[in-house]
């Protein structure tokens, strides 16, 4: 059993599929590894959650490499995606329906430049109520789905790079490099407020995490094939 590479420890860069939770990916890979090698248990974990509606780089660690997860969690991550102006949703993305409509501002170069400056550096950010943050031992998203009042405190974050590009008349495309604990959904909400409108995230993809990059990732199916032929 000591010769099993996934038991000894493996870092797997997975391109997470749309609609899968990060834990879904962990659970699937753990199941395939256990079944292929005929073992009862193996440690498998991820180094940074991706929302179900996000795709992109998910760093998975197995066996002894799970000891590196805490280190990987603290590293900066880069995302690309799209923000839609003129409407908000309770989840700040497409998980929930639009709840309010706002006038769409005229997007010009100065607005884009001002937004880039405003949202770089050290900031205080309120997480989404549809998040895994705990309130009195319960996940915020469970309380939110029960229509219970949820109030989350602002947390310190850091955005080291933010490139914004106006697309269409109500969309902003972005690339953002940020610290652990940053919610891109909250960034979308805050950008909407900053231009006296509303906004929500309509597309999100993680392209890097620390030294790991999406260009070196494999799909979930590709990793399953690798496990089954190892």
CA distance 160 to 43: 33
| Residue 65: partners with Cβ closer than 8 Å, 6 or more residues away | 9, 10, 11
**51 annotated active-site:** yes
Residues 73, 47: contact at Cβ < 8 Å? yes
Task: Tell me the two tokens of residue 201.
Answer: 């995230």
Provide the β-strand partners of residue 173: 82, 165
Task: Tell me the two tokens of residue 112.
Answer: 């884009």
Out of 15, 24, 51, 203, the active site residue is 51
Query: What's the farthest any 2 CA atoms get from each other in the chain?
Result: 62
At 177, is the secondary structure helix, strand, or coil? strand
CA distances for 207 relative to 41, 103, 130, 183, 220, angstroms: 31, 32, 23, 15, 16
CA distance 164 to 173: 6
| Residue 113: partners with Cβ closer than 8 Å, 6 or more residues away | none
* Residues designated as active site: 51
């Amino acid at each position: 059993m000591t010769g099993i590479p996934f038991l000894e420890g493996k870092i797997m860069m997975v391109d997470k599929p749309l609609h899968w939770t990060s834990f879904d990916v962990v659970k699937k890979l753990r199941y395939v590894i256990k079944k292929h090698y005929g073992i009862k248990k193996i440690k498998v974990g991820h180094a940074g959650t991706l929302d179900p509606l996000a795709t992109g780089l998910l760093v998975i660690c197995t066996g002894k490499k799970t000891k590196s997860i805490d280190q990987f969690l603290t590293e900066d991550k880069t995302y690309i995606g799209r923000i839609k102006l003129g409407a908000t949703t309770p989840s700040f993305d497409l998980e929930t329906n639009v709840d309010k409509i706002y006038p769409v501002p005229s997007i010009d170069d100065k607005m884009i430049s001002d937004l880039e400056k405003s949202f770089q550096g050290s900031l205080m950010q309120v997480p989404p109520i549809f998040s895994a943050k705990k309130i009195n031992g319960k996940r915020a998203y469970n309380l939110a789905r029960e229509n219970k009042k949820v109030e989350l405190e602002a947390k310190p974050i850091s955005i080291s790079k933010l490139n914004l590009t106006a697309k269409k008349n109500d969309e902003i495309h972005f690339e953002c490099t940020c610290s652990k604990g940053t919610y891109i959904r909250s960034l979308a909400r805050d950008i909407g407020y900053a231009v006296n409108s509303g906004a929500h995230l309509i597309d999100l993809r993680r392209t890097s995490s620390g030294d790991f990059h999406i260009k070196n990732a494999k799909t979930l199916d590709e990793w399953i094939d690798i496990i089954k032929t190892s």
